[in-house]
Structure 1
Amino acid sequence: MEFRMEKGIGKLLSVTGCAWLFDAMDVGLLSFILVAIQKDWGLSQVQVGWLGSVNSIGLAVGAIIFGLLADTKGRKLMLMVTLLTFSVATGLSALASGYLVFMVLRFFVGLGLGGELPVASTLVAEHVPQHIRGRVIVLLESFWAVGWLLASLLAYFVIPAYGWRITLVIASLSAFYVFILRRHLPTDQKAVTKNSARPTLSPWQRIRKLFEKPYRRSTIMLWLVWFMIMFSYYGIFLWLPNVLVGKGFSMVHSFGYVVVMTVAQLPGYFTAAWLVEKWGRKSVLATFLLGTAVSAFAFGFATTVPMVLLSGMLLSFFNLGAWGVLYAYTPELYPTAIRGTANGLAEGFGRLGGILGPLAIGVFLSKHLSFEAIFAVFSLAIMVAVLTILVLGRETKGVELD
């Protein structure tokens, strides 16, 4: 019996994780494609920043809309819909004739990408026993590193040889994975049944419930942390190839260095997965974010290849490990009836930081602000998140989900 349960969890993790992987691959590809598009279309730094921010606007809207729908229509169905949305929009963006068309299509790509993650993490959290739930969700998030690694490899081998349009066509093939999700994902009948057994709450009632006394403190904490971590993550990682080019490295070398930095995400996830059931969510999240802040500050001052790679790898290690813990932490703070809504809204609010991050660094670069100053801003944002967790966070290790 125990073996069958563990086998079922492994299947759930791998099937959902591959969908997560495709999400990461699409997000990662944008950072490389922006470099190529900027050269092809002669875009300014601010225009490039807007492309990243419009993508993040879609991520925010998608997280909120599909988070709300997941509580009424089911997690599995919404996961399939979000995968199709970003895959089809990615394929269409390969045909974009200019800047504005590409920008509109990136919004729809972001819509699907943003909706998938909170829905997937909620689905997995509700099918895993509490004693390994945190570890499993951090491992789910580790598929993000594999997706970024695939994006890095596609950028390194395909973009220079065949161009960014062919790269997007290849990425759009993830649409066919919906058939795997339909066949192999478990139904989320438990959540649907629980919600249907209670008086139906309107979307506005579910949102208001997040700010009632039992959940208000957690909601404020999570929204601030999600905002700060996304502000720094998307500001840094969407611009990472551009930043390396700005530090004097060639486009091809920059892509290669990002591949090396991306590999460091995997041990970050695995370390966080091991620690999260030992130290607890709050301590591990605060520790990994502190490591992120220090690494980001060091990266801003790095000029030599060894220092760029070392600080960049540490930044990937700590930042993505923290993301995994945050995805485990968020759904554990709310009951089933509002869990999808809470997850989606926390991530949706955080996406506002994801909008401002890429836009801010574009403006900073256009104003000739130094890399040291830019990365100090991101370090400060992460430190705000650390203090927020320490003051407002509560531990959820071992908590049973209703």
Structure 2
Amino acid sequence: MHSSYKWIVLFGAFIIYLFDALEIAILSFALPAVSQEFGLEPVQAGLLATATLLGMGFSGPIMGWLADNRGRKFALIVCLIVFIALTAAIYVVPNFGVFIVLRFVAGLGLGGVWSIISAFVVETWPPHQRGKAVAFVLASFPIGGVAAAQLATFMMPNWRLMFLIAGLSAALPLLIAIFLFKESAVWQEERAKREPGENANLNELFKPGIARVTIFASLVATAAFVAYYGASTWLPSYLETERGLEPHAVGQFMTWLNLGMFAGYIVFGWLADKIGKKNALLIAMFGSGVLMPLYGIVTDQSVLLWLGPLYAFFMTFAGLFGSYLGELFPTRIRATGAGFTFNVGRGISAFAPMILGGVAAATSFAAGLVVAGLVFLLGGVFLLFLPKAPSDVKAVTETSTLKGVKTDA
């Protein structure tokens, strides 16, 4: 395959995941107006976010199986069509119940994109560049959040039209997937080795030798996403109600926070290729675990302004998961394994906003951030039980071998 194709995959995947992030983030900006129109209490409104995350949780095994058995490109196109159609359909949603169903089904498409584009990049880029490549692609997530904020600025309170525009605009990544992406050559090679009618299945994730990886990778992802969604859902409320920021200032703080996260994705992607994907992920998890509670304790607004991007800088686990988790599973079940572990975490995290909201109700939002930080630290402990990425082990071995080779002067 021509070397220029890897760049098509890189930038195409960046755009695709940016739109995926936009479709996920846009709900939070619409909730106030949606709640007003349908007369929803906060708990009911929160169910819309829960439904989305649950759909994303189920998407891991479903879309991962599809990608491993029917092809990366086919599964990616299915994901995009699902979330385009279901997001645009919200324009005519008649009631709250239908809204929940639409968000759940849209989540099936939204959640599947991550594992598929991660597999595309892992199977297209050489091992020594995968960390940077995958992290760059997944760095589009905070940019998608910024795009959602800007779209909301222009469209709200017309939330119906906002969902319609967001859904239809995702035709761009769909066209990229259809016309620019080729089926993964690595997947095709592995698929050709199977017996006719033989498919990879979910049971393979729990076979001896793989089960341990599946379990601990799921625990790491669960801890990371519970902490992330539990905290990020309430960050605007924390800044406004407990730290006295005006609503427009909250938007500025969140923009800087997302930019800090974007920078972190890029730097940690580079770091992953230098010190290993697992080591970089450990730094990210423990860094988030230390700085998030600090963000909850600080009361000075000027300190919060610069501390936000700093703590978000370390919150790059999703980008590192892309290259790390994908390598922990063989090609045959790569999308299934990475998608399952990643989205199990996202699915369970659907309940995190309610749990940390309960903590906040009993104590404070600041206390909720401290709890979230402790959960990040727990995820770092779980990570210690996982192996290094195979490409990192190979790189270390090759480096050691080269150091032992004497050359003629």
Q: TM-score, normalised by structure 2?
A: 0.89
Q: Select between 50-59 and 170-179 the one with higher mean Cα deviation.
A: 170-179
3-state SS, counterpart of residue 227 of structure 1: helix
Distance in 2 between the 1:399 and 1:185 partners?
Answer: 30
Asked whether the equivalents of residues 49 and 362 of structure 1 are also in contact (C-alpha less than 8 Å), the reply is no
Greater gyration radius? 2
Alignment of 1:96-115 (within 5 A): 96-115=93-112
Provide the identity percentage: 30
Aligned to 1:393: 387
> What is the aligned-residue RMSD (CA, Å)?
2.2
Aligned to 1:374: 368
Select 1:89's aligned residue among 83, 86, 101: 86
- Could you say if the C-alpha distance between residues 317 and 42 of structure 1 is closer, same or farther in structure 2, counting changes exceeding 3 Å? farther
- Could you say if the C-alpha distance between residues 167 and 244 of structure 1 is closer, same or farther in structure 2, counting changes exceeding 3 Å? farther
Distance in 2 between the 1:350 and 1:381 partners?
Answer: 13
Aligned to 1:118: 115
Aligned to 2:142: 145
- Could you say if the C-alpha distance between residues 271 and 201 of structure 1 is closer, same or farther in structure 2, counting changes exceeding 3 Å? farther
Question: Is 1:44 equivalent to 2:38 in the alignment?
Answer: no
Distance in 2 between the 1:312 and 1:163 partners?
Answer: 30
1:82 to partner: Cα distance = 0.6
Alignment of 1:135-284 (within 5 A): 135-159=132-156, 162-177=157-172, 178-199=174-195, 206-247=201-242, 248-284=244-280
Distance in 2 between the 1:99 and 1:368 partners?
Answer: 28
- Could you say if the C-alpha distance between residues 345 and 202 of structure 1 is closer, same or farther in structure 2, counting changes exceeding 3 Å? farther
Question: Is 1:350 equivalent to 2:345 in the alignment?
Answer: yes
Q: TM-score, normalised by structure 1?
A: 0.90
Letter in 1 for 2:164: V
Question: Is 1:13 equivalent to 2:7 in the alignment?
Answer: no
3-state SS, counterpart of residue 264 of structure 1: helix
Asked whether the equivalents of residues 231 and 354 of structure 1 are also in contact (C-alpha less than 8 Å), the reply is yes
Alignment of 1:287-306 (within 5 A): 287-306=283-302
1:201 to partner: Cα distance = 8.0
C-alpha deviations, 1:307-334, integer Å up to 9, x for none? 3323321232111x22211111001011
Aligned to 1:77: 74
Distance in 2 between the 1:57 and 1:200 partners?
Answer: 34
Distance in 2 between the 1:175 and 1:306 partners?
Answer: 37
3-state SS, counterpart of residue 277 of structure 1: helix
C-alpha deviations, 1:162-206, integer Å up to 9, x for none? 532222122112342212211101222431342242236877x73
Q: Select between 305-314 and 340-349 the one with higher mean Cα deviation.
A: 305-314
3-state SS, counterpart of residue 275 of structure 2: coil
Aligned to 2:404: none
Distance in 1 between the 2:196 and 2:225 partners?
Answer: 32
Aligned to 1:324: 319
Letter in 2 for 1:233: Y
Unaligned residue ranges in structure 1 (runs of 5+) = none
1:81 to partner: Cα distance = 1.1
Distance in 1 between the 2:130 and 2:5 partners?
Answer: 14
Unaligned residue ranges in structure 2 (runs of 5+) = 395-409
Distance in 2 between the 1:315 and 1:93 partners?
Answer: 34
1:71 to partner: Cα distance = 0.8
1:301 to partner: Cα distance = 2.3
Letter in 2 for 1:60: G
Asked whether the equivalents of residues 232 and 378 of structure 1 are also in contact (C-alpha less than 8 Å), the reply is yes
1:258 to partner: Cα distance = 1.4
Distance in 1 between the 2:87 and 2:207 partners?
Answer: 39
3-state SS, counterpart of residue 206 of structure 2: coil
3-state SS, counterpart of residue 249 of structure 1: coil
3-state SS, counterpart of residue 278 of structure 1: helix
Question: Is 1:334 equivalent to 2:348 in the alignment?
Answer: no
3-state SS, counterpart of residue 384 of structure 1: helix
- Could you say if the C-alpha distance between residues 132 and 45 of structure 1 is closer, same or farther in structure 2, counting changes exceeding 3 Å? same
Question: Is 1:314 equivalent to 2:295 in the alignment?
Answer: no
Distance in 1 between the 2:77 and 2:146 partners?
Answer: 23
Asked whether the equivalents of residues 17 and 140 of structure 1 are also in contact (C-alpha less than 8 Å), the reply is yes
